[in-house]
Amino acid sequence: MKLRKEYKEHDYLINTYGSFTEARNDKAHVDERRYAGILKLTADGTLIMGIWSLIKGYMETLSDMGSELIAGGIPVLIAIFGSVFAFALFFVIGISFRYMIWRGACKEADSGRKRNGYIACAIIFLAYGLYEVASFIYRAVWKGTDAQDVLRLIFDATSLIIVCELIASAFRLRKVRDELEAAETGGNL
């Protein structure tokens, strides 16, 4: 009986049946999967922060409205209308934009098609986050802070970091995909 230590010849036979395939584990492919994974993860993070932001903002508005109602400062109807309006406003700002970012990022990570809309939204959030952090520093220096401000800063800073990571991974993913496409087509970068 003849036994083969190496089975490369056999692999060739298997190849003729079209069954053998290689794992794509070169650096470019691994990086592409890594950045796509990070992009989706940060997109999830953005959406979660949006939901938290909505709950937080709405609770703050409700508590202010409640105080005004108890004090008799505003009529009940206006309070109800105001809270619905505030909810809608927070929903649009907190969720809709973030949902667009989440959807665009997930689609780009999955399909490989470049999308710019969500990047534009993410940059708006980035600017807003920078403004929030800067305003906290301004307040802290000139007016002093309380525990609520510090908690808000933690929330805003976390949100800012997530948006930064999302934008960075989106651009890194595009770069890797361009390189892969160039390598596969033999074209220039």
Partner 1 sequence: MQMDFHYYATYAAAYLAGYSHEESMVICYSAQFVDECSKTFLKSIKGPLSAATTQLQEEMADARTDLLGLQDITRIWASFHFLPRDLHRNPKVRCSRAYRRKYRLICGPNGELAAETVRLARGKGLEAAGLAMHVIADTWAHQYFAGTPSIVINNVNEYFYEIICRDGMKEEYKIRFNHNPATADDPEKMEYTNTIFQSSENSVMNLGHGRAGHFPDYSYARYRYMPAWADYNEVVKDNPADYLRAFTQMIYALKYLRGDIEEFDTEKYDMDTIAPYRDEILGILCKRQVDACADWKAFAEKLSGCTIGDFDINKYKDEYMAADKDSRNKTVIGRFILAAMSQKSMVTNRIYKSGNRAAGYSIDIGEK
113 binds partner 1 (CB under 8 A): no
Of the two residues 34 and 115, which places its CB atom closer to partner 1 in the complex? 34
3 binds partner 1 (CB under 8 A): yes
Among 8, 23, 146, 147, binds partner 1 (CB under 8 A): 23
Q: By the 8 A CB rule, do 145 and 139 touch?
A: yes
12 binds partner 1 (CB under 8 A): no
11 binds partner 1 (CB under 8 A): yes
User: For the residues of 24-61, what is the DSSP string, one character each?
Assistant: --SHHHHHHHHHHHHHHHHHHHHHHHHHHHHHHHHHHH
What's the DSSP call for residue 152? Answer: H
24 binds partner 1 (CB under 8 A): yes
- Binding segment toward partner 1, per CB under 8 A, in 8-16, 48-56, 122-130, 165-173: 8-16
Rg (CA), the chain: 26
Write down the least CB distance from residue 32 to partner 1, Å: 9
Residue with tokens 């534009």: 120
CA distance 189 to 18: 33
Q: Say how many residues touch partner 1, by CB under 8 A.
A: 25
In sequence order, what are the residues at sequence separation of 6 or more whose Cβ sits closer than 8 angstroms to the Cβ of residue 29? 180
Write down the least CB distance from residue 7 to partner 1, Å: 6
111 binds partner 1 (CB under 8 A): no
Site for partner 1 in 30-49 (CB under 8 A): 30-31, 33-34, 37
Half-sphere exposure in the Cβ direction for 77 (13 Å, CA): 0
Per CB under 8 A, residues contacting partner 1 are 1-5, 7, 10-11, 13-14, 17-25, 29-31, 33-34, 37
